[in-house]
Structure 1
Amino acid sequence: AGGIISLGRSLPLIWGGIREGLRDVGGGAKAGKSTLRTEDDLSMRFVFAGIVVLILAIMLARPLHMNLLGALLIVLFGFLFVTVSSRLTGEIGSSSNPISGMTVATLLLTCMIFLLIGWTGGSHYVTALSVGAIVCIAASNGGTTSQDLKTGFLVGATPRLQQIAILVGALASALMLGPILLKLNDGATVYVPVAEVAPGLATDAGNLAGRERLQGPQARSDGREYLVWQKRGTEGGPEGKYLVDDAGTAVWFVDPGINGAYSTRPDGTTIRKFDAPKATLMSYIIRGILDRRLPMGLILFGVMIAVVLEMSAIPSLAFAVGVYLPLSSSSPIFIGGMIRWLVDRARRRKLRDAGLTEAQLVAESDKSAGVLMASGYIAGGAIAGILIAFMAGSLGGVDETFTRWAAVHNPFFAGPFADLLAIVPFAVLSGLLYLVGRERLLA
């Protein structure tokens, strides 16, 4: 509801952008007029051509199970929620941009449309998920792109060149991150013998088409090729992906590395799984709507709460972010906000006699060295997360060695005082951020 309300507020901006884009395509109002370098954007002809190419590419990507309606929904919802994301990034920052909320809204609307036209089969689950995933990525990129362009405006950059660089960066990251995620998932995937989870499970092999081999370390012990069976329902065994032989007998239950349940391989090797709770939420929404099992009462109750908040002049999306995030995530954000408030308060006292307006004071705050350092914290945290995941997935032996050493030699590694080990560096980083923001260090 909050995303839809914010979307409604953005409609004038959206309509203005559409009109400007149509003028650009038709060579209307700005024809013959010179454009400032700092206002030189990519032509809307290029944008519309990119949309057509995107629709065709999505429809031709067979793993997405996409059709024309799904591709059009991606363009429609992507266009709308990218605007919302850009607006929210300016209001509350990209780190608190509720992209997951907009993804949920996309899935709800997409699944409702699918339900109305009778698309409730298994392949349509994948189609709905693909629509939500692509819109989620578009909304995420929309917010960060707005920040890039705003920064470029402040330093006098050329928007057109920035946009080209953003396209190159997005393409490069997609080409790099896809194989990395697949590698991490394969490294932590456990192939469980069906005899342990569903003895005697079988299916009609004539209805199966795709074939697959074992991936990861277990591929060394079994190089055969199997038919792939995506089992729905829990009758006879857990639902999920199975590898079956040509006779239809299930041989392996494929437990994925991401959101998997089995952490021990048949040879006794322990595997660290990767949690993705939001992915589970998305699957509940898709199955709940298309299977007509979603508790709509809870959703409508949340909608009413959002409406009441907006009527009380409280930003519902910002409120929802605080409710949605667990305390383990929101507490560091709150502490960071407190540090920013203390630094800004001290800066305002320092500039009290400078005669600056409120807008100028805000600009001075944004130029603080603490803001730059906090940006470095965000980038460093992302890089550290990738390195930790890479060690757990591809360098499992090294990670296990460190874990064993810490369990023996580090008294804070486990037990009731384990969190103290993380609080100490967090406190140091918080204090360092405050001192840098106050220009007591590294000034």
Structure 2
Amino acid sequence: MSNPENRFSPYIGAADDLPQLTFKALVLGFLLAAIMAGANAYLGLKVGMTVSASIPAAVISMALLKFFKESNILENNIVQTAASAGESLAAGVIFTLPALILLNYWNDFPFIDTMSIAMFGGILGVLFTIPLRRALIIETDLKFPEGVATGEVLKAGTEGGKGVKMIAIAALAAGLYKLSQTGFKVFSSVLGGAKKVGDSIFGYGTDLSVALLAVGYIVGLNIAVLVFAGGLISWLFGIPIYMALADPAEVAAIIGNSAGYDAALEIWSQKIRYMGVGSMVVGGIWALISLAKPLVDGIKSSMDAIKKKNTGAGNEVLRTEKDIPINYVMYGVIALSIPIFMVFVSVIDTQHLPVSSGLYWTTMVFGTVFSLVAGFLFSSVAGYMAGLVGSSNNPISGVTIATILATSLLLLAILGSQLNFQMDTDRATAAAAAAIIVGAMVACAAAIAGDNMQDLKAGQLVGATPYKQQIMQIIGVIAAALVIAPILGLLFNAYGLGGVFPREGMDPTEMLAAPQATLMQSVAEGVFARDLEWNMIIIGCLIAVGIIIFDKILEARESEFRAPVLAVAVGIYLPLELTVPIFVGGMVAWLATRNTMRRAEREGKDPEAAATKTERNGLLFSSGLITGEALVGIILAIPFAYFESTSVLNLVPDTFGPYANWLGAMAAVGFVIWLYRVAIKR
């Protein structure tokens, strides 16, 4: 049994009862959840990907808790549980709700509506995963990589100060680099060009973001290669082939006055990225099929828990096995259906959707019920995928696209008898907005579900009490929901989102692409306008089927390299320049691990232990890079929004552009080398 007097004991036994839900843990968890939500909102809107905040939150909270006389490892675990909930909720929100801006349905992010959608969806995610904890964590061999890593960081608590120092240095450097790029304009943010061959254009380029470099390091070479491969499918094959085969007049209409890389970007934006939609839909369906057994196991575990409670056997459950009672879960879901229904009525009112009273209320009830049903199914998918590939690689966008496509088709069937959406674009927009809200509820639930399972795995490793973590997850959701609307409004007014700008004269190169939200908007709008790029979607579906077959072959051969289809789909609908630094980051992780293990073998040391140290070094440094760039991006949004210009801090003339390209490229290479050297450091 562990010693309760050891503040950072590597394991707390079931008989030990150390403080967890303390006042300082609640306050610190609330604040970190809000901060992590803001940082990941920026990152997700910029590149369409977020990364798990559990490990940096664990390191930061451990360092802060050491300033208090009384603290322990379980208290620290509670803090990181809430903080990581903020990051995950931000992912669900920024992947969906900006689509309402892109639809011109919202002209900003209203606080009450945005907060309510985020909060209710996130709490659903916590509730839905409670009956799945035993099925996915106890009764399967899922790895939960980030949960295990977080548990190891918690157990190595005495290293917390060194970890915080590493994160702080990386964050400071990344923040200054971002300030020099976006604020001072001394360094370029992106390099790109194009080569014309016949009638086709081959676009190439790279973003100089160190946050993307860090994302690549965290996800590793396998996923980084697949994301980059998806980019090549779009840019090396998709765009040139389309331009060679399509009607020249159609191509000219799409390109307009654009040339070079911008022309390739227009082709990708209006045509090729829909292959990513098809790949995402097939990938989401495949994930559901793969999860049939865990879903059944989860339901059985829930029913067994009810039987044990009714017979009194539940009183003998160990502290480390106590969840929020399943009857509370059911009551909670039923209770949440009422405010969720009210959100639908508030956002999609009769003025925007003027149909008969019966049809209107039928639509509102459908949206509520479908949110609950799809939320449970896809929360289960997200929990399973988190165990398989981790939270950072969890394909929340894939299941959200599948949700929005299914919702849009069903709403088209429900409302199509009274409305001609091709003739009435305002009503089509309202119907598309309803589909987006369903998708937002499901995305928030699924994002929190995946994060919840990771945190519960970390808690299992250190001896935490599950129901206390689940309570803290809800607190983290509330904290993030309270800050997400003003942060999104600030970023929108400072940079613009997905081609929509709040005012004229804004710099399009500084715009936040919001790739997932743009895709959600295109899918929902395309279904009701009946001009969705079905040919491209079908091609994407076929590509996904081919990748699934390829992955099954790899599985049969017991290959270490695997090909999850949703990782490739991410690359297909991301601009090429965003996939390049992710690939470079994955290469750095692979090289650092390989060279460290070889050095350990030559010195007669344990290669696996050396690789673990390298992974942790690089992970902490990468977390700092992401945090620094994201936080500076949010801070810069304040003067940009106030002065209504992204050039307010510009220190160089327009003619400095070529020098900024060289300086930006050299600085980016410097960060690559620095990351590698930190990772292999003994």
CA distance in 1, matches of 2:652, 2:460: 48
Report matched runs for 1:180-199 at 5 Å. 180-185=487-492, 187=493
**1:81-230 alignment to 2 at 5 Å?**
81-119=378-416, 121-122=427-428, 123-185=430-492, 187=493
CA contact (8 A) 2:391 2:451 kept: yes
Q: Using the TM superposition, give the Cα deviation of residue 35 of structure 1 relative to its aligned residue in structure 2, in angstroms.
A: 2.9
Aligned-residue offset at 1:282: 2.0
Task: Label 1:426 to 1:5 Cα distance change in 2 as closer, same or farther (>3 A).
Answer: same
1:11-410 aligned at under 5 Å gives the runs 11-27=292-308, 31-32=313-314, 34-61=316-343, 62-65=345-348, 67-119=364-416, 121-122=427-428, 123-185=430-492, 187=493, 259-260=499-500, 263-264=503-504, 274-313=512-551, 314-352=563-601, 364=612, 368-394=616-642, 396=644, 400-403=647-650, 405-407=651-653
Task: Name which of 425, 432, 438 aligns with 2:680.
Answer: 438
The structure, 1 or 2, with the larger RCO (C-alpha pairs under 8 Å, 6+ apart) is: 2
RMSD (Å), alpha carbons: 3.2
Secondary structure in structure 1 of the residue aligned to 2:415: coil
- Is residue 324–residue 470 contact of structure 2 (8 Å, CA) maintained in 1? yes
Does 2:665 match 1:420? no
Q: Deviations over 1:22-63 (max 9, x none)?
A: 222343699246333333322222322222232211111233
Gap change, CA 1:382 and 1:153, over 3 Å in 2? farther
- Quick one: distance in 2 between partners of 1:382 and 1:46? 38
List per-residue Cα deviations over 1:138-181 (Å, max 9, x = no partner).
Answer: 22223333332333333333322222222111111111111332
Alignment deviations for residues 86-118 of structure 1 (CA, whole Å, 9 cap, x no partner): 333344443333322222111111112112223
Give the secondary-structure state (helix, strand or coil) at the position aligned to 2:292. helix
Distance in 2, Cα, partners of 1:86 & 1:293: 34
Q: Verify the 8 A CA contact 1:24 1:44 in the aligned structure 2.
A: yes
Q: CA deviation at 1:302?
A: 1.6
Name the SS of the counterpart of 2:488 in structure 1: helix
1:327 to 1:363, Cα distance in 2 relative to 1, 3 A: same
Decide whether the 8 Å contact of 2:615 with 2:679 is kept in 1. no
Q: 1:368 to 1:277 in 2, by over 3 A?
A: closer
Moved over 4 A (4+): 269-275, 350-356, 360-363
The answer to whether 1:3 aligns with 2:284 is yes
Partner amino acid, structure 2, of 1:55: S
With the length of structure 1 as denominator, give the TM-score of the two structures: 0.71
Closer, same or farther: CA 342–354 of 1 in aligned 2, 3 Å? same
1:307 & 1:438 partners in 2: Cα distance?
Answer: 39
CA distance in 1, matches of 2:621, 2:458: 16
* Cα distance in 1 between the residues matched to 2:594 and 2:466: 34
Say whether the 8 Å CA contact 1:263–1:273 is kept in structure 2.
no
- Judge conservation of contact 2:494–2:638 (CA < 8 Å) in 1: no
Question: SS of 2:317's equivalent?
Answer: coil
- 1:322 counterpart letter in structure 2: G
**For residues 46 and 76 of structure 1, do their structure 2 counterparts lie closer, same or farther at Cα, with a shift above 3 Å needed?**
same
The answer on whether the counterparts of 1:85 and 1:142 sit within 8 Å (CA) in structure 2 is yes
Q: Which moved more, 1:12-21 or 1:343-352?
A: 343-352
**SS of residue in 2 equivalent to 1:27:** helix
Distance 1:417 1:73 in 2: 54
Task: Report which of the two structures shows the higher radius of gyration computed on alpha carbons.
Answer: 1
Runs of 5+ consecutive residues of structure 1 not aligned to the other structure: 190-255
> Does the C-alpha gap of structure 1 residues 264 and 294 become closer, same or farther in structure 2, counting only changes over 3 Å?
closer
How much identity, in percent, do the aligned residues show? Answer: 34
Aligned equivalents of 2:463 and 2:450: distance in 1? 20
Q: Tell me the distance in 2 between the aligned counterparts of 1:167 and 1:395.
A: 37
